Chains A and B, each alone.
Chain A
């Protein structure tokens, strides 16, 4: 339990606070419109749908304020840097930025639904009241206000075209209606193109469609400019008490106590909510633009087997930490697309590198632009211009804060650990005594190692270096091959008594199938009682769930006992 609090506590608090604020805003605004004195007459036409439309509107303002913040990666990077003193748990919140972004997005979708449905009722009732209100009813009297001189209208529908045409007219001729339809459409398109399958498989579709957010925010800000939600003015409330006058609405204007009530529209407030995050976002984009103008020199392009290329680059003032990633843009391929890549070099190296697997249109384009499809040597000046935004930090910076680290990479998720392992090794060589980290357990799960042969190379070189220094037990690593067939099994059985592994050429034999996590945790727990073990995963959601549960289950209740702290990379 205590460990669960350590692992998840702050996240839960953040989420609860966010939900509570949503609830508070909803309730508060619901009451204003459902019971407020100004809207007594409005409610006569709108009914409760007015409150049901306005309450989610307030929540929408709040959530649209939040939605931009988690995607300002430079801002988050800055916060992460400045919160170095405040500890790991706060920084870990910042790593969950995209989860939060998605939660806020779903909240926006929910409030949009309520808001839209409520307004469907509102339009229907207002058009009915205006076009077909029976003479003598209060709805008709209120709707007719504004026809004469010295009157201000309450019902914003002025034409007498009946439903359903009247309703359609209202939606497409009023600014509020039109912007509402447009931004709801933008929202729907953004959501349908951001489902996991689209995001993962057709990144370009997701990336370009997401830029409809510009339309969304413009529409959002001008949605309320028409001021069509109206209430009785303060001035009018002094002369005309609606609670007393509501009964004799036929006598308004004649009765000295009940002059004709005056109405005015609500000032648009959305811009007050979203102007700050929009400004931050603009600054964010300017920083990205400025970054993209900086000169990046590609010092080396290495083609690895199985369609993987390694770019080694240099940039003035570039400072990285382990496990960070950069966004890469190549104008020769596309001027608009920025793609994230994990840095695979260590901070101790004088260049920074990324490994790119050629799997899609963009990577294919980059492959060609770098001249990797040609066999002859490429002149340096022929290499394409590259822009880099970053680096941006993720959890594995914290590896060095633990005494024991358990690194789990699944498939492509192994890349951040390339940098970690390299850097650990550099640190270890330079000054082992100051290094807090004493032992690393590294797990690598993959379907086939072919695609990541470069990583096996790296492990191999680390292994030889460690043996040279007689420190072979500093790093213990296990490779699990999850996809294998008969022929591999045969090859394996042929070579099982050889000194090195058949597939990776490493001393440590490749294991087949999936690790028994329960056992691994137990073993590590008993080997390092009384230490804090950082568990770092870069891999699929299901594995994250398993590991996070095991972290909680295997941590001891005793504060001096072993504690597993779970960290996850977001990709």
Chain B
């Protein structure tokens, strides 16, 4: 478990806020509520936040579960460098983006949620956290040439001579355990 990484919760909260702001905006525009222009703004802001928050940051410790298909957005978010890496920037960005949503009822909920997300991000920033992309680990693929299908029967490092002699007596030993029926 270890130290709490506030940014992970902030990310969930901000993503939810983005979707809520977006939905509120859609309702306001679709219903042609008074001041629906703020709804149009909320659609844009909500979409931006959703896209920005979709790629999860890498956790400091342990493995991180990626969101489905987040690697495309990770690449985009990574391009902005310090702007997207620094959580102070995110905290103030979200706080700023939240304000216009407060002028009509349909987007108020999104605004408040986003405000809370901004606060959690601020806490994360104070704790010295920052966004780090989850890179695809390039696994060094061992090239197996066509002729070698089986692992070597006596791989290096070789056992000391006496053990080797014993092995030779017994003939070939399976490199993996062959287990009989239990």
Contact = CB atoms under 8 A, between A and B. Distances in A.
Interface of A: 113, 116-117, 120-121, 123-124, 128, 162-164, 167-168, 170-171, 181, 184-185, 188-189, 191-193, 195-198, 201-205, 359-363, 441, 473, 476, 478, 489-490, 493-494, 496-497, 509-512, 523, 527
7 contacts: A120-B24, A121-B31, A168-B108, A170-B105, A185-B113, A201-B8, A201-B62
B177 A205 contact: no
Contacts of A191: 16
A36 B62 CA distance: 58
A168 B105 contact: yes
Contacts of A123: 105
A511 to B, nearest CB: 6
Given A162-B34, A192-B13, 4 more contacts: A168-B104, A196-B65, A490-B155, A494-B163
A197 B170 CA distance: 52
Contact of A164 (B6, B24, B104, B157): B104
Nearest to B175: A493
A192 B31 contact: no
Nearest to A497: B173
A153 B46 CA distance: 38
B164 to A, nearest CB: 11
Contact of B109 (A163, A181, A509): A181
B182 interface: yes
B157 A490 contact: yes
Contacts of B4: 202, 204-205, 361
Contacts of A476: 182
Contact of A167 (B12, B16, B64, B104): B104
A164 B163 CA distance: 87
Contacts of B157: 490
Contacts of A512: 176
Contact of A359 (B2, B104, B163): B2
B96 interface: no
A164 B103 CA distance: 7
Given A116-B109, A117-B27, A192-B12, A164 B1 contact: no
Given A123-B105, A203-B1, A197 B112 contact: no
Q: Is chain A's interface secondary structure helix, strand, loop, or mixed overall?
A: helix
B50 to A, nearest CB: 14
B33 A198 contact: no
Interface of B: 1-6, 8-9, 12-13, 15-16, 20, 23-24, 27-28, 31, 33-35, 38, 56, 59, 62, 64-65, 103-106, 108-109, 112-113, 116, 155, 157, 159, 163, 166-167, 170, 173, 175-177, 179, 181-182
A17 to B, nearest CB: 30
Nearest to B67: A197
Contact of A124 (B24, B33, B64): B33
A189 B109 CA distance: 12
Nearest to B12: A192
B155 A493 contact: yes
Given A163-B33, A193-B9, A496 B104 contact: no
Given A195-B12, A361-B1, A523-B181, A184 B109 contact: yes
Given A185-B113, A493-B175, A167 B182 contact: no
A97 B167 CA distance: 56
A497 B6 CA distance: 51
B54 to A, nearest CB: 14
A497 B173 CA distance: 9
A203 B6 CA distance: 12
A137 B1 CA distance: 63
A510 B1 CA distance: 29
A120, A490, A496 interface centre (most CB from chain B within 10 Å): A120
B9 A205 contact: yes
B12 A362 contact: no
Contacts of A441: 182
A511 B177 contact: yes
Contacts of A523: 181-182
Contacts of A478: 179, 182
B106 A120 contact: yes
A163 B2 contact: no
B2 A361 contact: yes
Contacts of B116: 185, 189
B30 to A, nearest CB: 10
A196 B4 CA distance: 15
Contact of A202 (B9, B20, B112, B166): B9
A311 B113 CA distance: 43
A124 B182 contact: no
Contact of B13 (A189, A203, A204): A189
A116 B109 CA distance: 10
A72 to B, nearest CB: 26
